Amino acid sequence: MPKEFIMRGKTPSGTEEILEFGHQARPGYGYRMTEFQLFPSSSMGSDTAELVGTITAGTTAVSPPDQSFNDDGLIASFYGTFPASQVATGANAVINDLFIITQDLILMVQDTANNNPINWQCRFEEIKLSTAGEAVANFKQYTIYNTSS
């Protein structure tokens, strides 16, 4: 049975946060992201929120309003609109769930409507890697990390 865990928090709009994997990784294991969600943290029911977010394995955060799926380090993207006093509409997350995570990630979120802080949640699954699989995952992240600007 796979071991799953959740990381969650509240981050000011337009800022980044490090999701730490380096110190908790067990040798021979990696992680796969299975869920990425954003949710407003204030003025719910009275303000419209437009939330965007990115998670990357590069050296710098990917700007959520200006992201590109051509970026090899982009692991997850979220876009959602939350109209005042209505049910969320247009919430979409795109996750590269084949990307094996073996190092820290950078989360960046933004509320383009009001600049309020954003609640976020990510779900990860721990996976056992063969020696060759671990080498490939580490090399891929090393390449992305060292070519990011």
Query: pLDDT confidence of 59, banded at 50, 70, 90?
Result: confident
Query: pLDDT confidence of 30, banded at 50, 70, 90?
Result: confident
Q: How does pLDDT run across 104-122, given as a tens digit for each residue?
A: 899 999 998 888 899 999 9
What mean pLDDT is reported for the chain? Answer: 83
Phi first, then psi, for residue 133 (nearest 5°) are -65, -40
With residue 36 as reference, give the H or E element that holds it: strand 29-40
Number of domains, the chain? 1
Q: How far apart are CA 137 and CA 149, in angstroms?
A: 20
Range of the domain at 72: 3-147
CATH of the domain at 21: 2.60.120
What percent of the chain is modeled with pLDDT above 90? 37
Q: What is the pLDDT of residue 1?
A: 44
Distance linking the first and last C-alpha atoms of the chain: 38
Q: Taking the model in full, what pTM does it have?
A: 0.83
* Token pair belonging to 46: 């009275």
